[in-house]
Amino acid sequence: MFEYIVSKYNYWVYIFLMMLGLYGMIGKKNLVKKLIGMNIFQVAIILFYISIGSKVGASIPILTAEDLHGSANPLHYMNPLPHVLMLTAIVVGIATTGVALGIIIMVYNRYKTLAEDEILEIRKKSGV
């Protein structure tokens, strides 16, 4: 049992970060706090993929001089595929964060507040 827990410790940390991000998105009222929760959630997924790609006793995915011509042993290098996918995911995540911050600025210009419940109150009062 203890060995089982230790052999998968990265998965426990990623599960905890995912729960933290989900709580931030659901439980917090402030819109910027919701966005911070979304960032944490995204980082948890990236951590999951990166930890899938790692191998015990392997090196970084850059070939050394003697392995250049097709003689590389795949056990000596990390799996490069999750790294590539997460490279894309990080940049796209920052782009979505930027769009979300733009929407937050527009919401603030219209309602003069960032709290979700106050925005709902104003909308209910004005009959929208």
Partner 1 sequence: MILPLDLILLLFVVITGIAALQIKDLLGATIILGSFSFFMCLIYTEMGAVDVAFTEACVGAGVGTVLFIAAVHKTKRRSKD
Partner 2 sequence: MKVFALLTVIITGVMLVYGAEDFPKWGDPNQPGSVHVAPRYTQGTYIEAGTPNIVTSVVADYRGYDTMGETTVIFTAGMACILMLRKKKRGEGESNV
Q: Report the distance separating Cα 85 and Cα 83, nearest Å.
A: 6
* Number of neighbouring beta carbons within 10 Å of residue 70: 5
Query: Which span sits near partner 1 by CB under 8 A: 30-38, 65-73, 120-128?
Result: 30-38
* Least spacing, CB of residue 42 vs partner 2, in Å: 15
Q: How far apart are the first and last CA of the chain?
A: 56
List Cβ neighbours of 43 (8 Å cut-off, separation of 6 or more).
17, 21
Residue choice 18, 31, 38, 119 for contact with partner 2 (CB under 8 A): 18
Q: Which two tokens stand for residue 48?
A: 């999951």
Q: Which two tokens stand for residue 86?
A: 């997460």
Interface with partner 2, residue 9, by CB under 8 A = yes
- Considering CB distances under 5 to 8 angstroms, the limit depending on partner class, which of partner 2, partner 1, none binds residue 40? partner 1
List Cβ neighbours of 111 (8 Å cut-off, separation of 6 or more).
118, 119, 122
Which one, 10 or 30, has the nearer CB to partner 2?
A: 10
Residues 24-53 that bind partner 2 (CB under 8 A): 26-27, 51-53
* Least spacing, CB of residue 127 vs partner 1, in Å: 25
Q: Which two tokens stand for residue 91?
A: 């940049």
> Site residues (CB under 8 A) for partner 2?
7-12, 15-16, 18-19, 22-23, 26-27, 51-58, 61-64, 68-72, 74-75, 77, 79-84, 87-88, 91-92, 95-96, 98-99, 102-103, 105-106, 109-110
